Chains A and B, each alone.
Chain A
Amino acid sequence: MIREKIVILNENGLHALPASRFVKLAEKFKSDVKIMKDGVEVSGKSIMGILTLACEKGSKVTLTTKGQDEEQAMDALRKILEGQD
């Protein structure tokens, strides 16, 4: 299991398109993906869950990946949150 604290740097926060890109990418990995903000944790493979977190640019979240491809998942998903995809 990998756990990292990430500050969301994506211009639009984790809204609409970035959120759906995040989910589409997360679904490609076998690992379990979770995002936590302000003590609330949701599945990284759920668009509704992510939207309800209401992550704006500058929000601090904890991203957790767990499974056989957890490292690749962490690397790829971090990039979306940091707006470098």
Chain B
Amino acid sequence: MAKERILKGIAVSKGISKGTAYVYETKEIKIMQTPVPTIYLEEEIERFLSALEKTTKELSNIKERINAEIGANFAQFLDAQIMMLRDREIIDTVKKGIESEKKNAEYIYHRVLDKYAKKLGASRDQYLKERVADIWDVGTRVLRNLVGLTHASVVDVPQGSVLVAHDISPSEAALINPEYVLGIAIEVGGRTSHTAITARALEIPAVLGVEGLLGKIRNGETVILDGNRGILIKSPTPGRIQFYKGEIRREVEYQKMLSPFCELPAKTRDGRQLDISANIEFFVEYTHAKKYGAMGIGLFRTEFLYLTRRGNPSEEEQFRVYDELAKKMKPDPVIIRTYDLGGDKIFSDYHEANPFLGWRAVRVSLDDVAFFKIQLRAILRASVNRNIRIMYPMISTFEEIKKANVVFNEVKKELKKEKIDFDDHLQVGIMVETPSAAIMSSQLAAQVDFFSIGSNDLTQYVLAVDRGNERVSHLFDHFHPAVLRLIKQVIDSGHKSHIWVGICGELAADPLAIPLLVGLGIDELSMSPVAIPKAKMVLRALTVPECENIAQKALNFRGANEVKKFLKRTLTKKFPGMGGIK
């Protein structure tokens, strides 16, 4: 029996699967150089043009399929590819090349593309560099059609496979069928690659960036893909298989037990209704929000729009995403958070000693008003759907809210002047994630329509712990009474000013925290979509008085461990036989 090997990568899509490795290798197309007699030159050019046409049709079909299944925004990269196919300069150069050199279309076309790819590849600009992949994605399709090869396709992957590949082109990734592909392991790429996004959208467990993957995995061998831990296990030992069998079974049973809760209202036993909404980062995740029973989007992170382009997306581009998301979620609300970017993400040569205390989020936006205005305009235009709300991240002073609102009102004025419709009453809120904002919340509440507590950053700042630093990360604990007391303060200040208060950090999704937060009077819990059914289940077993009792006790403990011990004890009593709720 072969020795077990564990290959490490980056966990990009959760879940576990055991299956047969399907090693997906795009066969190299051999480009032969053959002379073409003068009388056949015209025919050769015809052959090239019809290969282009066939490829255009293929891409249009894929685009339609993506539009229908995932959403139009996701298919934008295909527009760029189709444009490359129609590129007049390329077509003319190839035509001229065939005529003057009297050589076959494959040879000339390949050489022309190679020239462009090299030029772009040498660019200092990340965006342009990434277009090389698009050139070869398109180019390979055309070449295959020219040499008459059927396109090796992920559509052919047999049932029960774990797809193993060096890389999958974006147009191929979009064709992955989740009924056949149980897991995805890729040699290159990271969290924001197309394959990662597709895997998450289709809820297929995936591990990317597995170095040396293709040399280690053979076609047809049994592998276990663990998308939670970011590993691929080759030749798993019987013990390992047993362990994962149990894990998969527990997961399936757990999901089955939870699934009825997706549809049920988020209400306590004695009838208090809470808003449970979803935190999402990518447009396509709205499908998960709906599936798991979210009552809106509590946090739409917009950084992704910026990061995948390495530049500020245009107003139009942003508008399309916000508008489509608003339409999909209607009438449920969508809270769009303006960029939460660090200065280092915007200027590549920008570094600072203390990024968490530095130039980031609304501080950056307020320093570059033109940049901020583009985003606000796009959000306001999308607000014609009447379900959009806006939220500024990392507010630490009263003046920042005022400044942001000055810009916001300028943008409104501009739109009015241009006779562009928008929602003049859209709610404007802030993230409460700095200690100063929490402490001053009673003053800030008068300026805004809602608070959303960002418990992760709040915890970091209050406890002075960088959770990314391994030496101190054990000190990070959002159950610390210091954090809980601040949360209480924020909720109380909000309610005194008659605004609603939500929470969108990880604390909101922690079943142990739910009775506590309800007891403190929270109005909204926003979490990753998959956590929603569990949160509803917990919520529906509680009553407000018992939650208030729990909250009061929790606030008076001396440390996080005491709080957690108490909460665990209380919840285990409520949900016996579940082996603990976590």
| Chain A residues at the B interface, C-beta cutoff of 8 Å | 11-12, 15-18, 20, 23, 42-43, 45-49, 51-52, 54, 56
Contacts and interface: CB of A to CB of B under 8 A. Distances in A.
Interface stretch (B308-316, B394-402, B454-462): B308-316
Contacts of B135: 48
A20 B116 contact: no
Q: Pick the 5 closest A-B CB pairs, nearest first.
A: A46-B89, A52-B119, A43-B89, A49-B89, A48-B87
B89 A17 contact: no
Contacts of B84: 47-48
Contact of A51 (B128, B309, B374): B128
Contact of A15 (B90, B124, B311): B311
Interface in B277-328: 309, 311-314, 316-317
Interface of B: 79-80, 83-84, 87-90, 116, 119-120, 123-125, 127-128, 131, 135, 309, 311-314, 316-317, 370, 374
Nearest to B310: A15
Contacts of B131: 51
Contacts, number: 55
Nearest to A12: B311
Contacts of A12: 311-312, 314
A52 to B, nearest CB: 4
24 contacts: A15-B125, A15-B128, A15-B311, A16-B80, A16-B309, A17-B313, A17-B314, A17-B316, A20-B79, A42-B89, A43-B88, A43-B89, A45-B88, A45-B89, A46-B87, A46-B88, A46-B89, A47-B84, A48-B89, A48-B135, A49-B89, A52-B116, A52-B120, A54-B125
Given A16-B80, A20-B83, A54 B128 contact: yes
A34 to B, nearest CB: 11
Given A15-B127, A54-B128, A46 B80 contact: no
Nearest to B92: A43
B80 A20 contact: yes
A56 to B, nearest CB: 8
Given A15-B127, A15-B311, A45-B89, A51 B316 contact: no
Contacts of A15: 125, 127-128, 311
Nearest to A49: B89
A38 to B, nearest CB: 13
A47 B311 contact: no
Contacts of B83: 20, 23, 47
A55 B311 CA distance: 14
- Among A43, A47, A56, chain B packs the most CB atoms within 10 A around the CB of A47
Contacts of A45: 88-89
Contacts of B80: 16, 20, 47
A13 to B, nearest CB: 8
Contacts of B119: 52
Contacts of A23: 83
B138 to A, nearest CB: 10
Contacts of A47: 80, 83-84, 87
A48 B135 CA distance: 9
A20 B78 CA distance: 13
Contact of A16 (B90, B124, B127): B127
A47 to B, nearest CB: 5
B218 to A, nearest CB: 39
A51 B83 CA distance: 12
A54 B131 CA distance: 12
A17 B123 CA distance: 18
Nearest to B83: A47
B242 to A, nearest CB: 50
